[in-house]
Amino acid sequence: MVAADVVITNRTASSYEAQGVIIHGYYRDVVGAVMLSDAGGTFGVGFAGPVPAGEQRKVHVGFAIPRPDAGNVTIAVDPSDGQHKAVQFHGSAIGN
C-alpha cells in the first residue's frame, strides 16, 4: 500500500467546492491502482466538501500498489473544475 496526503489551499476570497476533485494512483506509469478506504476513516476517497476562503483541507488516501512497483508511483490530482489544471506527482514510495 502507498499512502499520500493531498492538500488543497484556497488563497481566494470565496469558498472552493472541492468534492469534485478526482485523485488517482498509478504504477508502472500506466497501471491504475485501486484506491483504498476503511471504515475507521483513516483513508478517504476524496474531499467531502468545500474549502473555505483562506483555508486548507487535507485528505489521506491509500492505493494498492505491489511492492516491486513502489519505485514508480504517480499520484494524479484533477480539480475537474474547468479553472485549474490537473497535477501529477511522480516518484518512489519505497522507504517513505
Domain count within the chain: 1
**In which residue are the cell numbers 516491486 written?**
68
Give mean pLDDT, residues 69-96: 91
Q: Is residue 44 part of a domain?
A: yes
Structural domain harbouring 38: 2-91
Does a structural domain hold residue 38?
Answer: yes
Grid coordinates standing for 20? 469534485
Residue 96 domain flag = no
Q: pTM score, two decimals?
A: 0.88
Using the predicted structure, report yes or no on whether residue 67 has a pLDDT greater than 60. yes
Which CATH number fits the domain that encloses residue 48? 2.60.40
- Strand positions, DSSP E, 1-96: 2-9, 16-17, 22-27, 31-36, 50-51, 56-64, 73-78, 87-91
CA 74, 60, 92: angle at the middle one, nearest 5? 30
Q: What percent of the chain has pLDDT above 90?
A: 80
Domain contains 32: yes
Lowest-pLDDT range, 15-19, 72-76, 91-95?
91-95
